[in-house]
Structure 1
Amino acid sequence: MLDVILNYKTLLENLHIYIEESKFKKEHIINELGVSRATFYNKLKKRSFSIPEMVKLSTLLFPEDAKAFEIKQALERSRKDSAAGRVLKHESVMSDARKRISR
């Protein structure tokens, strides 16, 4: 658990660098967070972003990691569904796919 905390600390300490190096302009990041410009810079200076804001920032700044996490979560849900017997037959899935494509 200590490694998670230390990694988070490092993330907060280097957040300004990640923002500078990102492909996004600061205005875009500020708009995505839904905060004022002054609030953004204040939070950046004080390292006081909320957890939902950090999730949003991480998704913007590290899109590959966010996509990998999303895929990992989807696979875990699939495994749980399969283990619980919540599965569809191949024929049913293919039939539904064909219907969607033909629309």
Structure 2
Amino acid sequence: MILEIKNYIKISNSIDEILKNSPFKMKYIIEKSGISEPTFFRKMKEKKFLPEELLRIAEIIEPEENSKEDILKAIQEGLKDVKNGRIHDHKTVMNEAKERLAKKRNEYIFWTNRSKSDLENLEDFLIEKWGFKVVEDFYEILERKISLLENGNLVHQKYEDTDFHKLLVTKHNYIIYEIAADQINLLHMINNFRNPDDNYNLITKRS
């Protein structure tokens, strides 16, 4: 109990820095928190957010953490499906997931051939390691992140010393993109398991 209280105090005292370093725009965080703007800034300045308010903010700025339980649950459900013979063929599962993602593709968001290829490779890896259900859940997370990018609710974070930007999809994957005159081009999907220098060299050579 003492440890939990110490952690709460630590987070509460550093909430302004946490929000400052978040990839989300402050306006978006405030809107999603349900706290009025004047009250939000007052609580942030005085470091007096209630525990449930801090939890709500954490779920907004770190949705991938909130997704871990969903992914683990999906793995367990997938194993049960296999055991009980409730198995969907690969084509059906992937078509359904890709149809949902396709709705996010428009004149503003453009997937390059390289990013499509990266996504297909990631899809194969997830299927091999975890199964179809986890891939479906990954696509749902990806859809949410693309929507945030499309709606302008994210702060564009620079990728290293390049002119590109990065978007965290899950703990293990980033999308590398560039901002053109009237659209966002998705260039690559990188795996954080790979050596950062290898990722950098791969991206700068290809792009």
Is the pair's TM-score, using the shorter chain for normalization, greater than 0.5?
yes
| Equivalent position of 1:87 in the other structure | 81
Greater fraction helix = 1
Greater fraction strand = 2
| Equivalent position of 1:67 in the other structure | 64
* Structure 1 residues 75 and 40: CA distance shift in structure 2, 3 A: same
| Equivalent position of 1:35 in the other structure | 35
Deviates more, 1:69-78 or 1:2-11: 69-78
* Structure 1 residues 70 and 98: CA distance shift in structure 2, 3 A: closer
- C-alpha deviation, 1:73, in angstroms: 4.5
Unaligned runs of 5+ in 1: none
Per-residue CA deviations over 1:75-97 (Å, capped at 9, x if unaligned) read 14644885xxx43426x322752
TM-score, normalising length: structure 1: 0.62
- C-alpha deviation, 1:7, in angstroms: 1.3
- C-alpha deviation, 1:72, in angstroms: 3.5
Read off the aligned partner of 1:87 and give its amino acid letter: D
**Equivalent residues in 2 for 1:4-19 (5 A)?**
4-19=4-19
| Equivalent position of 2:93 in the other structure | 97
- RMSD between aligned residues: 3.3
Read off the aligned partner of 1:37 and give its amino acid letter: E
| Equivalent position of 2:24 in the other structure | 24
* Structure 1 residues 73 and 23: CA distance shift in structure 2, 3 A: closer
Runs of 4+ in structure 1 off by over 6 angstroms are none
Per-residue CA deviations over 1:29-62 (Å, capped at 9, x if unaligned) read 21121222111123222513351x322311333x
In the alignment, the residues of structure 2 paired with residue 16 and residue 99 of structure 1 have an alpha-carbon distance, to the nearest angstrom, of 43
- C-alpha deviation, 1:13, in angstroms: 0.5
The alignment partner of 2:49 has SS state of coil
| Equivalent position of 1:48 in the other structure | 49
The alignment partner of 1:27 has SS state of helix
TM-score, normalising length: structure 2: 0.36
